[in-house]
Chains A and B, each alone.
Chain A
């Protein structure tokens, strides 16, 4: 030991809380990124979030219907003791931070002094810096539950208002911020109008269905929508969520159990219908993305559907290949939250889903189960090219992004 005893320096940030600057919150990720040289890698985060309800008065001012818009304005200006106008956020939102253990999930009340861009641009830039991300897909949070709203019109009003607000007020603030337009999927004709309105808007790189809903994705009423999305050349994403009031999930007494199942279950159902009804055969150029369900559900469903399909092919006559082949060749997956407790199982999963070409990095920042790019970089069974593909190049190809990053 050195004879000289050195004085310790107190860390400037003793405890991370809801007021901590995102850059301090993600300082370890930033440091890790610099050690690994991520500045030389294209990193695309295909699913991160902002909390749109913080800007709800701005967003509701974009509601087209004059009566509903006025109702929202009055509500936002005078009403207390209730959630933001029109939103039906799930009960589970109260539990996401594990009783204050994960403060960044609760809120981001950090100081933002910049006035030249929207506050959400500043917060996103800080997150992009911390995670060393070149492009970040921005997606809402409580609006994830709109598919369960009893007023289907409200999903139309709010998603259109949100999409217009986001593309006009937020995204122009930084060329690295991109989005998947939220579709009011419970009203197919309005979803189609949304595709027509936003397909060519700058920084719109695809379309998104929030998966928590009871509409069958193979219904004939969606074929015009899928055709339009296919023709746009942009992918359709199914972003998972939960619905604690679902009769099965209502038997779960913990957020842990409900969330573990719920975020996989909705996409398991939609994927099953998507494949068995031959949507990839009907629209061979339509690319689908399955977001935020983790990965372990995919090999389960591949094996399950393959096994049953061989015995009941007459119920899925559109298929010309095994269900698992469509799932590995036609579908893209986001990695987060990537289950890593069994590395052999994860390696097998990567092989089964053809991860080097079909897997996309996503952080889900600032949610409680976010991943950093190192979850991919540190995997012992991937070669460097596969890591580069998953962290950014697969997304660049899928979304037609500049491989040198945004200009």
Chain B
């Protein structure tokens, strides 16, 4: 196990991410609200650099009570990271693909102590 100091909480704006080289491991660190998430920068689909993609809100179908569709809506409460190779999306909080939860990112532990953020590799 190896701990890496990522930076301070105040260096991360809400809803942003940074990608780091932690030894041989590329890791994306995301801030949503007061929580931090770290994911291995390898897409489970074809190994793409998933954390170097763009952030998009999850898309929902806008159905009324009669099941009529009125188009699609962004859900700003659920943010996905999108792999720039092929577009696979993953919920930043859970790491899971919104259409198939068996397809998921590989997590790394995040610790916050005294306003400092640490990510642990090799646990």
Interface residue ranges, A against B (CB under 8 Å):
1-2, 5-11, 13-16, 25, 27-29, 32, 98-104, 368-372, 374-375
C-alpha spacing A6/B118, complex, angstroms: 9
- With A100-B54, A101-B53, A371-B46 as given contacts, are A2 and B19 in contact (CB-CB < 8 Å)? no
- With A29-B47, A369-B86, A375-B46 as given contacts, are A1 and B2 in contact (CB-CB < 8 Å)? yes
- With A5-B3, A8-B119, A10-B18 as given contacts, are A16 and B53 in contact (CB-CB < 8 Å)? yes
Asked whether any CB of chain A lies closer than 8 Å to the CB of B5, the reply is yes
- With A8-B119, A101-B54, A102-B85 as given contacts, are A28 and B49 in contact (CB-CB < 8 Å)? yes
List 17 contacting pairs A-B, 8 Å CB cutoff, sorted by A. Answer: A2-B2, A5-B3, A5-B4, A8-B4, A9-B22, A10-B18, A11-B19, A11-B26, A14-B18, A14-B52, A98-B82, A101-B54, A101-B87, A102-B85, A102-B86, A103-B84, A374-B47
Question: B2 to chain A: which residues have CB within 8 Å?
Answer: 1-2, 6
| Size bin of chain B's contact surface | 20 to 34
* Least Cβ–Cβ distance between B87 and chain A, in angstroms: 5
Within 8 Å by CB of A16, from B5, B23, B49, lies: B49
C-alpha spacing A369/B46, complex, angstroms: 11
Question: B54 to chain A: which residues have CB within 8 Å?
Answer: 15, 100-101, 103
Asked whether any CB of chain A lies closer than 8 Å to the CB of B12, the reply is no
- With A10-B20, A29-B47, A374-B47 as given contacts, are A15 and B3 in contact (CB-CB < 8 Å)? no
Question: B47 to chain A: which residues have CB within 8 Å?
Answer: 28-29, 32, 372, 374
Within 8 Å by CB of B52, from A2, A9, A13, lies: A13
Asked whether any CB of chain A lies closer than 8 Å to the CB of B7, the reply is yes
* Least Cβ–Cβ distance between B115 and chain A, in angstroms: 15
Question: B52 to chain A: which residues have CB within 8 Å?
Answer: 11, 13-16
* Least Cβ–Cβ distance between B121 and chain A, in angstroms: 9
Beta-carbon contact of A5 and B118 below 8 Å: yes
Asked whether any CB of chain A lies closer than 8 Å to the CB of B48, the reply is yes
Beta-carbon contact of B20 and A101 below 8 Å: no
Beta-carbon contact of A11 and B20 below 8 Å: yes
C-alpha spacing A293/B16, complex, angstroms: 38
Residue among B27, B42, B84 with the most chain A CB within 10 A?
Answer: B84
* Least Cβ–Cβ distance between A146 and chain B, in angstroms: 27
Beta-carbon contact of A102 and B87 below 8 Å: yes
Beta-carbon contact of B87 and A2 below 8 Å: no
Sample of 4 more A-B contacts, CB < 8 Å, known A6-B23, A28-B48: A5-B3, A6-B5, A8-B20, A15-B52
Beta-carbon contact of A372 and B18 below 8 Å: no
Within 8 A of A (CB), among B13-57: 18-23, 26-27, 41-42, 46-49, 52-54, 56
Beta-carbon contact of A7 and B4 below 8 Å: yes
* Least Cβ–Cβ distance between A15 and chain B, in angstroms: 6
Interface residue ranges, B against A (CB under 8 Å):
1-7, 18-23, 26-27, 41-42, 46-49, 52-54, 56, 82, 84-87, 89, 118-120
Residue among B3, B23, B42 with the most chain A CB within 10 A?
Answer: B3
C-alpha spacing A369/B88, complex, angstroms: 11
Majority SS at the chain A contact face: loop
Question: A10 to chain B: which residues have CB within 8 Å?
Answer: 18-21
Name which residue of chain B comes closest to A1, CB basis. Answer: B1
* Least Cβ–Cβ distance between B64 and chain A, in angstroms: 18
C-alpha spacing A11/B23, complex, angstroms: 11
Question: B86 to chain A: which residues have CB within 8 Å?
Answer: 102, 368-370
C-alpha spacing A100/B82, complex, angstroms: 10
Name which residue of chain B comes closest to A9, CB basis. Answer: B21
Nearest 4 interchain pairs by C-beta: A11-B19, A1-B1, A8-B20, A16-B84
C-alpha spacing A28/B42, complex, angstroms: 8
C-alpha spacing A257/B21, complex, angstroms: 38
Question: A5 to chain B: which residues have CB within 8 Å?
Answer: 3-5, 118
C-alpha spacing A7/B21, complex, angstroms: 10
* Least Cβ–Cβ distance between B16 and chain A, in angstroms: 10
Question: A368 to chain B: which residues have CB within 8 Å?
Answer: 86-87
C-alpha spacing A76/B87, complex, angstroms: 33
C-alpha spacing A370/B83, complex, angstroms: 13
Question: A27 to chain B: which residues have CB within 8 Å?
Answer: 49
Question: A16 to chain B: which residues have CB within 8 Å?
Answer: 49, 52-53, 84
Beta-carbon contact of B119 and A374 below 8 Å: no
Beta-carbon contact of A9 and B20 below 8 Å: yes
Question: B26 to chain A: which residues have CB within 8 Å?
Answer: 11
* Least Cβ–Cβ distance between A73 and chain B, in angstroms: 37
Residue among A11, A29, A99, A371 with the most chain B CB within 10 A?
Answer: A11
Name which residue of chain A comes closest to B120, CB basis. Answer: A1
Beta-carbon contact of A102 and B84 below 8 Å: yes
